[in-house]
């Protein structure tokens, strides 16, 4: 009896540390009830956020410190060193020295990353990708902390912990890993219509990139550039990959995750090691300060883009990544980015998401890297000299001489001294603000759907189908049917056909419209009419820059081509095609029926790079089957070889077959068609000796995918 009472006492003590928020009002960690958990405290509804916002500070500080030592978000990353070279002087618009003259070179370090998954997750998760660049400029370090999507899920940093908590594995059982396909995320998203625009991007092929080398980067926020006369230009920054923007299909992504979860990391590393250096051009959209309000959306809203059809992107420089890190932990893992690391000539706008990031990133680095001296870790050190009165702290490395550590002083003759603006001293833009201190969001932020519609309308037929299929997969994983219907109801505001396609796949009637109230995330005492979604008429109906297929780069450089061979392969057929592809900058790997050496039909020997059992079609951009009677007989008897070809066809990839390889067609799901019909679908089949085989194949590879193939859905591979 005594033991039972002791057990009950322990359970009672434990219950004092448990909490269930159902039925209770939201409070701070001090128990103070919160009236508005949606907005940071700001000067007016379009003004800067205030340092005194203790509710935001407490919420974000707790969030920043939730993972030790792994990053809360962006834990899985890949890095590379490189150089940025300016194409022309931008001194007319900004004092930033690294943009001051044509040909000026600046060292950089870039970290690409997924957002949701932990360090051990797959590179091929459907997710936003981080694209953070540290410029080691002569004026100090400048961090462009970008994503591969130009818009974000939320408009105010107050909601960032809620967003991440919803999309991370559910806390009661720590599942699922590295995916949004579960109830908590879609519950949140279906109640936050401001997320609709970025969801369209993520559900497109951009959510599953082919390579870090083939994805765009966007600064997301509107920033200020300031010239030496104090004139302000509002800017949005873009990284444009020289190889073009390409993605994979979802079935392919899932299979790559099983075969090589390090696919993107390996791709980046190997490209640099081979001297095929990734290149990205830096582009800028510029808006005169006087024109800030000429658009039918708010430039301070991080869920909006400036369509390139309205304001073209001006290309101003190029970044080349030319060196892999020497040590992953010391460089890629310890690099610390912060959007507040800016240089003279660059300044912030009052974007409420950006304003919150200025606190969050520095707070995160303090915890993750052990204290205030993270700037002394080699990868984070600026090349510009540092002189200040900051001393001591955990892991201090710099040894400061002298007796003064304060300003002003006379004992050190007043040094280190303040720098005048004309001598490069940093000054913030002087901005007049006359407003009340409020927790509010401008009415100009409440158009949640217009640009999502613009994005959808800008896609090709195949790309629209990808978006429908992606939403169907994600919402199909949601167990709560009310959440599914609520989300599809919200998507009716984007496009009726989109919503109908998804609801058909999910097995219910398309909702007539969004559930009311659409926006659940409003302050407790708010007037609901202040948060009713607007839908403004867009000046631009279709923007080709939003479509990957419409902005295709016709090149085969760095594309990976697999050659399927067996013993007795025709050496001339293989070598001729390999030479043609290598001359165009492609990468060729020979995939044999086994590893090791193969005897060719002429009695010579060559070595396979991979075998059918260690590779997969999903790891290649295209396939070639060279001639050779014995080789083809062996491939006929290898079920995996047939799977390779069927799967490549299913994933819309180019295929070429020469000579006796034609005999494989009778065993393939797509082979019962004429040569002309096959060629239209990117399958080039020719007798040995045709001079134009290599040309036709490279032309097909440059098209990337053949989205309109017939019979794809019938292939069981």
Would you please indicate which residues are annotated as catalytic (active-site) residues? 74, 147
Contact 441, 45 (CB under 8 A): yes
**Backbone φ, ψ for residue 346 (5° rounding):** -130, 135
- Return the closest-CA partner of residue 656 out of 678, 674, 641: 678
Strands 41-43 and 279-288: unpaired
Contact 210, 245 (CB under 8 A): no
Helices (H), 385-540: 450-457, 461-476, 481-491, 496-506
Cα Rg of the chain, angstroms: 28
DSSP 526-580: --GGGGPPB-PPPS-S--GGG-TTTT-----TT-EEEEEE-TT--HHHHHHHHHH
Task: In whole angstroms, give the CA distance from residue 591 to residue 581.
Answer: 16
Task: In whole angstroms, give the CA distance from residue 548 to residue 246.
Answer: 6
Q: SS3 sequence, 212-268?
A: HHHCCEECCCCEEEECCCCCEEEEEEEEEECCCCCECCHHHHHHHHHHCCCHHHHHH
Where b means 16+ CB within 10 Å and e means fewer, 115-153 reads bbbbeebbbbbbbbbbbbbbbbbebbbbbbbbbbbbbbb
DSSP 438: E
Peptide bond into 448 cis (omega under 30): no
Q: How many residues does the chain have?
A: 717
- Tell the residue number behind the tokens 């269930």, with chain if given: 20
DSSP 175: B
Task: In whole angstroms, give the CA distance from residue 334 to residue 355.
Answer: 24
**3-class SS of residue 105:** strand
> Is 225 exposed, middle or buried (CB count within 10 Å of its CB: 0-12, 13-18, 19+)?
buried
**3-class SS of residue 591:** strand
DSSP 330-394: IIIIT----TT---TTEEE---HHHHHHHHHHHHHHHHHTSSTTGGGSGGG--SS----S----T
Task: In whole angstroms, give the CA distance from residue 484 to residue 187.
Answer: 8
334: Cα within 13 Å, side-chain hemisphere: 19
Q: Give the pair of three-digit tokens for residue 673.
A: 């068609």
Q: Give the pair of three-digit tokens for residue 582.
A: 């290598």
List C-alpha distances in Å: 276 to 212, 267, 322, 702. Answer: 13, 11, 8, 17
- Return the closest-CA partner of residue 586 out of 597, 577, 595: 577
């Amino acid at each position: 009896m005594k033991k039972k009472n002791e057990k009950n006492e322990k359970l009672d003590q434990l219950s004092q540390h448990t909490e269930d928020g159902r039925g209770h009002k939201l409070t701070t960690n001090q128990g103070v009830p919160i009236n508005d958990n949606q907005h940071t405290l700001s000067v007016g509804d379009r003004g800067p956020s205030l340092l005194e916002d203790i509710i935001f500070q407490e919420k974000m500080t707790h969030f920043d410190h939730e993972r030790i030592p792994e990053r809360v978000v962006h834990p899985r990353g890949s890095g590379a060193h490189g150089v940025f070279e300016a194409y022309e002087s931008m001194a007319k618009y900004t004092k930033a020295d690294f943009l001051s003259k044509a040909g000026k070179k600046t060292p950089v370090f870039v970290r690409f990353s997924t957002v949701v998954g932990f360090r051990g997750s797959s590179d091929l998760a459907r997710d936003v990708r981080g694209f953070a660049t540290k410029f080691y400029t002569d004026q100090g370090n400048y961090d462009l902390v970008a994503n591969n999507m130009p818009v974000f899920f939320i408009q105010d940093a107050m909601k960032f912990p809620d967003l991440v908590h919803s999309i991370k594995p559910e806390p009661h059982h720590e599942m699922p890993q590295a995916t949004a396909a579960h109830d908590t995320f879609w519950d949140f998203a279906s109640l936050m219509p401001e997320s609709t625009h970025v969801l369209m991007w993520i559900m497109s092929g951009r959510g599953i990139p082919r390579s870090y080398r083939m994805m765009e980067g966007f600064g997301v926020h509107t920033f200020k550039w300031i010239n030496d006369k104090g004139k302000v230009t509002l800017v949005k920054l873009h990284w444009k990959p020289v190889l073009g923007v390409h993605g994979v299909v979802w079935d392919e992504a899932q299979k790559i995750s099983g075969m090589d979860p390090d696919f993107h990391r390996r791709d980046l590393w190997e490209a640099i090691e081979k001297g095929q250096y990734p290149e990205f051009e830096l582009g800028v959209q510029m808006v005169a300060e006087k024109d800030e309000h000429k658009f039918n959306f708010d430039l301070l809203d991080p869920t909006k883009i400036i369509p390139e059809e309205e304001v073209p992107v001006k290309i101003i420089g190029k970044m080349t990544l030319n060196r892999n890190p020497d040590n992953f932990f010391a460089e890629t893992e310890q690099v610390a980015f912060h959007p507040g690391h800016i240089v003279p000539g660059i300044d912030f706008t009052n974007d409420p998401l950006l304003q919150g990031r200025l606190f969050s990133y520095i707070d995160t680095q303090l915890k993750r890297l052990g204290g205030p001296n993270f700037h002394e870790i080699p990868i984070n050190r600026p090349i510009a000299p540092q002189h200040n009165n900051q001393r001591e702290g955990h892991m201090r490395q710099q040894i400061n001489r002298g007796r003064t550590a304060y300003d002003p002083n006379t004992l050190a003759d007043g040094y280190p001294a303040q720098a005048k603006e004309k001598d490069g001293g940093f000054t913030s833009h002087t901005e007049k603000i006359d407003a009340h201190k409020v927790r509010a969001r401008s009415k100009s932020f409440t158009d949640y759907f217009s640009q999502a519609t613009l994005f959808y309308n800008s896609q090709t037929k195949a790309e629209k189908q990808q978006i429908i299929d992606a939403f169907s997969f994600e919402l199909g994983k949601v167990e709560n049917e009310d959440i599914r219907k609520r989300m599809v109801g919200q998507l009716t505001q984007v496009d009726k056909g989109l919503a109908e396609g998804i609801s058909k796949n999910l097995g219910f009637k398309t909702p007539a419209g969004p559930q009311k109230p659409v926006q659940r995330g409003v302050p407790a005492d708010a007037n609901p009419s202040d948060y009713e979604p607007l839908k403004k008429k867009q000046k631009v109906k279709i923007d080709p820059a939003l479509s990957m297929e419409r902005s295709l780069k016709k090149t085969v450089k760095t594309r990976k081509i697999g050659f399927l061979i067996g013993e007795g392969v025709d050496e001339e057929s293989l070598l001729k095609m390999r030479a043609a592809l290598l001359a165009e900058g492609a990468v060729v790997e020979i995939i044999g029926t086994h590893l090791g050496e193969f005897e060719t039909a002429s009695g010579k020997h060559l070595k396979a790079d991979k075998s059918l059992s260690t590779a997969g079609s999903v790891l290649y951009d295209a396939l070639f089957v060279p001639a050779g009677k014995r080789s083809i007989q062996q491939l006929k008897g290898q079920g995996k070889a047939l799977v390779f070809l069927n799967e490549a066809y299913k994933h819309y990839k180019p295929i070429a077959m020469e000579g006796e390889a034609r005999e494989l067609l009778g065993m393939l799901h797509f082979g019962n068609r004429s040569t002309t019909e096959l060629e239209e679908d990117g399958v080039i089949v020719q007798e040995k000796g045709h001079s134009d085989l290599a040309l036709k194949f490279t032309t097909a590879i440059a098209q990337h995918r053949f989205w309109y193939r017939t019979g794809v859905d019938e292939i069981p591979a």
